[in-house]
Amino acid sequence: MCGIFGIVTAKETALGPILVEAGRRLSYRGYDSVGCATLSPGGTIDLRKDVGKIDEVAERLRFGEMRGTRGIVQLRWATFGAPSQANAQPHLDSDGDLVGAHNGNVVNNVELRERFIAEGMTVRSTNDGETCVHAVERYVDQGYPMLEAIRRAHGDLQGDYAFVIGRVGEERLYAFKKGSGLVAGIADGAALVSSDLPSILPFTRRVLRVEDGEIVVLEPGGIELRRVEDGARVEREFEVVSETMEDAQRGGYPHFMLKEIHEQPGRARELLHLYDASPHVEAMVERMKGARNLYLVGCGTSYHACLLGATYLARLAGRPAIPVLAPQFVPQYVPALGPGDVGLFVSQSGETKDVLLALEAGVARGLEPLGLLNVIGSTLMYKTRAYLPLACGYEISVPATKTFMNQALAFLYLALKMGGHSTADLHRIPELLEETIVATDPAIFPLVDGLAGCDDLYCLGYGLTYPIALEGALKMKEVTYAHCEGMLSTEFKHGPLSAVTEGYPVIFVCGPEDVARVVSGVNEVTCRGGRAIAIGEEDPRLRANAHDLIVLPKAGPLLNPLLAVVPLQLLAYRLSVARGYDPDFPRNLSKTLTVD
């Protein structure tokens, strides 16, 4: 999740220290490279950038000495193009007259790069941030003024992004918003724009919230908003914000876990845009189709996504796939591997040691390794023959939420493609996720008082919701410290039913096709005095038999599991807070496990 910051000042000043400090305040978003650019009244651009953390790169490249009247700093989280000095942002146009940086994904990056190269532009990287600069350059070279060039470039760039750009010979910066966050601020003698609030707060608390389809024009004396659609001026009052720095980093949410749950619709939307435009999806599908045996390998949350993925692949593509925990892959399957076998290794961080060890053992036996990962430039990326990104941005809270969502969505996308089905219906998911958050969070609050004192409960699912039950149980264990066991609902009667006593809570995650089967399990619990909590679409059978029903929007059997995980995440979060724990940093756990 990249971060951008731009500033325009009334007179030439030492912008380097200002840009470095702004970058530090954006660093919580996660990044792999950093760069600064300043524009001076004399018509020069000073651009310095490289891979690494901001303090190290700033010291090595002497950011502190950079001066000018306009400045841009960008922290890059790689999606298009591996982390490298060339792919680091900001970027120049062909002649060095424009400089800009972006936050987000331009999903037609490959096509536009090829077009720009064919038109004779100097393209120095594979990064979509550079594509934004050339998209503006194309119209500037045709004689259009900057505002009109930006309006026209906006129509060429597909995806969700925000972008800031400056031109030699002007005393302005321009920024525009299409999906990704953007906020502007006004201070004495300066105008500022940024991906989000933390980098602006040290300068001012007078801000403008930029909306999609708007261009921000920053001058030393003020800020102007224009509509991309027709260039017309937008009138909007500045607001005075009261957030602390910590509040601003969390976007006003009390914890990062809650913020990241709410980010899931946006991240799902970005993933779908990315995959729709990516030539790498088809290549991944062909490799998976041609496998002698196909293994889906992960740990923890990623393993639960693999279980769901295996069910999707069987159902939609008629393709058996073997989901397996990474440490068990070595003793159980590696001795039987050979050429033609394919492993899809799944990891949020790309550094999980169990996953990397499993990959290495498989490759030694002739297995072809593929990757599904969130961190571009991670070890897993470099060890795979092909990979797909998860496009989640940085996930700060230790419990995985949006990374699981996009892993599950990626598997569903691949399964549809492998089976020759349309993926168009998947574009309902972001809106359905938003509806689910709005509908289920209030329904969870009445459950919290009754469950906060429970140290033992079960979470059951069947078919497509079985992996969701496992993931929900893991979230409960991680952040509430209560023992919650995830299980196949039909297995519950084979022993664990003996645990049920008066008031004992059992959560049933129910797909729309499985209601009759789940109702039987519900009654096995309720007739013994247990408390049955159902999560599913509105159904009179669930309503009549369960004590509580958390209602999901109607989405059908394939999309239902993606929605069902949301109330489980929210319930775990609410219970963690009610029990007095910090859900972002559970005891004994770390985000990335790099030890045996």
For the annotated catalytic residues, the residue numbers are 2, 591
Structure tokens at 318: 């008629």
Helices 560-578 and 466-480, axial angle in degrees (round to 10): 20
Q: Which residues are within 8 A (CB) of 527 and not within 5 positions of it... i.e. 6 or more apart? A: none
**Residues of the chain by 3-state class (helix, strand, coil), percent to 5:** 40, 25, 35
In the chain, the amino acid numbered 461 is: G
Q: Which residues are within 8 A (CB) of 240 and not within 5 positions of it... i.e. 6 or more apart? A: 205, 206, 207
Strand order of the β-sheet with 386-389 is: 322-325, 294-298, 342-347, 368-373, 386-389
Q: What are phi and psi of 422, to 5 degrees?
A: -70, 145
Structure tokens at 153: 């470039």
Number of neighbours of residue 292 by Cβ within 10 angstroms: 12
From residue 328, how far is each of 154, 358, 370, 414, 528 by CA, in Å? 49, 9, 18, 25, 37
Of 356, 244, 366, nearest to 302 by C-alpha is: 356
From residue 45, how far is each of 64, 86, 130 by CA, in Å? 15, 17, 16
From residue 67, how far is each of 9, 16, 174, 527 by CA, in Å? 11, 6, 19, 75
Q: Which residues are within 8 A (CB) of 190 and not within 5 positions of it... i.e. 6 or more apart? A: 7, 8, 9, 10, 203, 220
CB 112 within 8 A of CB 106: yes
From residue 2, how far is each of 36, 77, 161, 554 by CA, in Å? 14, 5, 10, 34
CB 199 within 8 A of CB 25: yes
Number of neighbours of residue 359 by Cβ within 10 angstroms: 24
Of 144, 95, 101, 142, nearest to 122 by C-alpha is: 95
Q: Which residues are within 8 A (CB) of 155 and not within 5 positions of it... i.e. 6 or more apart? A: none
Q: What is the DSSP string of 314-345?
A: HHHH----EEEEHHHHHHHTGGG--TT-EEEE
CB 165 within 8 A of CB 99: yes
CB 593 within 8 A of CB 499: no
Instruction: State the distance between the two ends of the chain, measured CA to CA, in whole angstroms.
Output: 29
Three-state SS for 537? strand
Q: Which residues are within 8 A (CB) of 222 and not within 5 positions of it... i.e. 6 or more apart? A: 186, 191
